[in-house]
Structure 1
Amino acid sequence: MGWEEFLVAEPVLQARSLSKTYPSGDQTLGVLAAVDIAVAAGESVSIRGESGSGKSTLLNLLAGLDRPDAGELFWGGEAAHRLSLGELTARRGRFLGMVFQAYYLIPEIDAFANVLMGARMVGRVGAAERDRATALLKRVGLGERGHHLPAQLSGGERQRVAVARALMNRPRVILADEPTGNLDERSGDEIVSLLLEVCAEEQAALVLVTHNPAHALRAGRKFTLHNGTLGLMS
C-alpha cells in the first residue's frame, strides 16, 4: 500500500517509514517495518492488532517515548525525531495527551488534583487551569466526584478522570492505548464514546489503539497492524 493512501490534509501528527527492532537473544526482533500514518486535527483513527503486533510500540514512537531505528516523526509540522530528549519532554506535555489501560492516577490525591496534574507537569497552574480542571470533570460526568480519591471511584470513573487529565493542556493529539482493557463492556463502550466526543469538541486528533473490533470500527479511519506493517481495514 502506497504512502498516498495514508495522506490527510495538513496532518497534525505524521510518521514516515517508522521502523523499530529489539534484541532477542542472539537475534534481532523486527517489531515495526516502515510504518506510515498521518492524522488531521479532530480526526479519529483506530489501530487494531493482536497481542504482540507492535501497537504499543507504535504508540510509544508516536509519543516520542521511544526512538525509532529509522523514519521520521512530525508533531504539528515540527520534526520531533530531531529534538533532544529534553526538548521532546517539554513539547510533549503541551502537544500530546495520553490515556492508558492502567489509568496511572496518583492514588494519594483526589480526582480534581489528578486532572490538574497535567497542568502542573508543564509548570502552569493558576485560576484558569483550576477552572478548566473543574469544567473537564463536569464534562466527563464527574462534576460531583472531584474530591474523591481514585480508590473511591469505579474503573470507568477512573478512566474518565484520566481522559480529563489528558485534555488538561488542550493538546492537539490524544493517544489512547487500550483505554478499555480494564473495563467491562458497558464501561468500555462509554469510554470510547467519551473519547470520540471530547476529541471532536476540542478538535484534538485521536489515535485509539485497541484489540476490540467494535471499538476500532467507531473511528473515522481504521487501520490494522500485522507483522509490523500498517494497513487500512477493509
Structure 2
Amino acid sequence: MTDPTSIPVLAAEGLAKSYLSGDRTLCVLEGISMVVAAGESVSIRGESGSGKSTLLHLLAGLDKPDAGELTWAGSPDTGASRRGHFLGMVFQSFYLIPELTALDNVLMAARMLGKVGPVERARARALLERVGLAERASHVPAKLSGGERQRVAVARALMNRPQLLLADEPTGNLDERTSDAVIELLLSLSRETNTTLVLVTHNLAHAAKTDRQLTLQGGRLGSV
C-alpha cells in the first residue's frame, strides 16, 4: 500500500500557457514542472510580467494549461467541487465582501461548501483570534486597515482546513512593516497546521523565509 504521506500535495509536469496578442502568440509559461511536499513552504519569485500569477492560476485549477499535467495529492481532479475542500487562496487585493463583517467573510469559505453551523462559527472566531482580530469580528472591511483585511483573508483561506494554501503577492498593497507581519503570519500558520504553502512574490526577503525558493524567468522555473 502506498504511504499517503509520500504523495506530493502538488505536482506539475510540463505546464505550458500561451495567449494571443494581436496576430502573434505570446508564450508565458513553457514546460513548468514542480513538486511540493506536504507541509512544505515554497516561494516563486519573478519580475512583474514574468507569469507568476498565470502560474498560480494554473496551480489553483482556475485556468487550464495548453499542455502538461497537474495533480493535487495524486489526483488529476482540480475542479471547482474539489477546490473548496483542497485549497485556500490569498490574493493581493483581499477580495473581501464589503457588506459582510470580518466574521462573515471568514465564514464565506464554509458557506461555499454549504456548511455553516455552530462548529464552523466557532472555528471562524478561533481563526480571527489567531490572526489577532477577535475584537474586530463585527467590523466590515471599510473599518479595517489594509493589514487587518489581509489577516481576515488569511483566516478565510484556512477556514476549510485546506491541504494547500496559495498566496499571490499577498503583501503587494501593504507597507513594509505590515507586509513583514503578514508573511510571518502566513508562514507560522502554515507550519502550525501542516498546510503546504506556495507563495508568489517579487520580494526577495519574503521569498528567503520559505523552505525552498524558485524563480520564474523566461517562462521557465528554476531553483535559487
TM over 0.5: yes
CA RMSD of aligned residues (A): 1.0
User: Counterpart of 1:183?
Assistant: 174
User: Counterpart of 1:167?
Assistant: 158
Question: Secondary structure at 2:115's aligned position in 1?
Answer: coil
> What are the equivalent positions in structure 2 for 1:128-207 lying under 5 Å apart?
128-207=119-198
User: Counterpart of 2:66?
Assistant: 69
Shift of residue 9 of structure 1? Answer: 4.6
Question: Secondary structure at 2:133's aligned position in 1?
Answer: coil
User: Counterpart of 1:116?
Assistant: 107
Distance in 1, Cα, partners of 2:222 & 2:103: 39
- The amino acid across from 1:46 in the alignment is S
Give TM-score, length-normalised by structure 2: 0.97
User: Counterpart of 1:5?
Assistant: none
Q: Which one of 95, 98, 101 corresponds to residue 89 of structure 2?
A: 98
> What are the equivalent positions in structure 2 for 1:49-88 lying under 5 Å apart?
49-80=46-77, 88=79
Kindly indicate whether residue 39 of structure 2 is the aligned counterpart of residue 42 of structure 1: yes
Q: Which one of 16, 21, 26 corresponds to residue 23 of structure 2?
A: 26
Task: Tell me the percent identity.
Answer: 65
Distance in 2, Cα, partners of 1:9 & 1:55: 27
User: Counterpart of 1:4?
Assistant: none
Distance in 2, Cα, partners of 1:231 & 1:196: 22
**Structure 2: which 5+ runs fail to align?**
none
Distance in 2, Cα, partners of 1:57 & 1:208: 13
Shift of residue 42 of structure 1? Answer: 1.1
**Structure 1: which 5+ runs fail to align?**
1-7
Shift of residue 21 of structure 1? Answer: 0.4
Distance in 1, Cα, partners of 2:120 & 2:31: 40
Question: Secondary structure at 2:96's aligned position in 1?
Answer: coil
Question: Secondary structure at 1:209's aligned position in 2?
Answer: strand
Give TM-score, length-normalised by structure 1: 0.92
Shift of residue 40 of structure 1? Answer: 1.1
- The amino acid across from 1:32 in the alignment is L
Runs of 4+ more than 2 Å apart:
none
Shift of residue 124 of structure 1? Answer: 1.1
- The amino acid across from 2:133 in the alignment is L
- The amino acid across from 1:199 in the alignment is S
Distance in 2, Cα, partners of 1:187 & 1:223: 24
Question: Secondary structure at 1:78's aligned position in 2?
Answer: coil
- Number of residue pairs the alignment of both structures matches: 220
Distance in 1, Cα, partners of 2:58 & 2:206: 22
Q: Which one of 8, 15, 28 corresponds to residue 11 of structure 1?
A: 8
Shift of residue 39 of structure 1? Answer: 0.9
